[in-house]
Amino acid sequence: MSAQTTYFGTVYPGETDHMGHLNVAYYVQKFDAATWNFFFNIGVTPSMLRETSVGIAAVEQTLNYSKELMPGDVLEIHTRILDLSEKKVRFRHEMIHRESGQVAATCELLCVCFDRDAHKSRAFPPEAMEKARAALDAAQGA
């Protein structure tokens, strides 16, 4: 499996702008939901974030839009790891218009694991690193 599905959703009328299509703020919101599902899948869970000093910070984000999304459109987001180090992970989301199969938008993020008490970067927890390495290997076809 080269990518994991991290989000399913629908475009609602209240998420559109004055031109009638999905507003950019809601693309970001949907990508953010996919990001937290991605971290959950690699073991960085809500309870871990609440009960420890582990934190995650997005330090770089690049968005590209390629297909308009309209009210009622159903979409999904697939996520794959591009690069991984002890303290950082770079991954790419692809937002897919389910009816056509077309990529509607992409979002590439660089996130850093950090210690919320010390306010400095730290290594990912071992269980998260193990799952992330497995996901990276799968993405690279290993």
Give the domain extent around 114: 4-139
Tokens standing for 12? Answer: 């609602």
Average pLDDT over residues 36-50: 96
What is the pLDDT, as a whole number, of residue 2? 74
Confidence of residue 1 (pLDDT cuts 50, 70, 90): very low
| CA contacts within 13 A on the Cβ side of 115 | 7
Q: Is the pLDDT of residue 142 over 80?
A: no
Structural domain count of the chain? 1
What CATH number corresponds to the domain at position 12?
Answer: 3.10.129.10
What is the pLDDT, as a whole number, of residue 141? 75
Work out the end-to-end distance of the chain between its first and last CA atoms, rounded to an integer number of angstroms. 10
Per-residue pLDDT tens over the stretch 76-114 = 999 999 999 999 999 999 999 999 999 999 999 999 999
Percent of the chain with pLDDT over 90: 93
Residues 6 or more apart whose Cβ sits within 8 Å of residue 70: 11, 16, 20, 21, 22
Per-residue pLDDT tens over the stretch 57-84 = 999 999 999 999 999 999 999 999 999 9
Dist. CA 109–CA 115, nearest whole Å: 19
Q: Is the pLDDT of residue 137 over 70?
A: yes
What is the pLDDT, as a whole number, of residue 139? 80
Tokens standing for 9? Answer: 């959703």
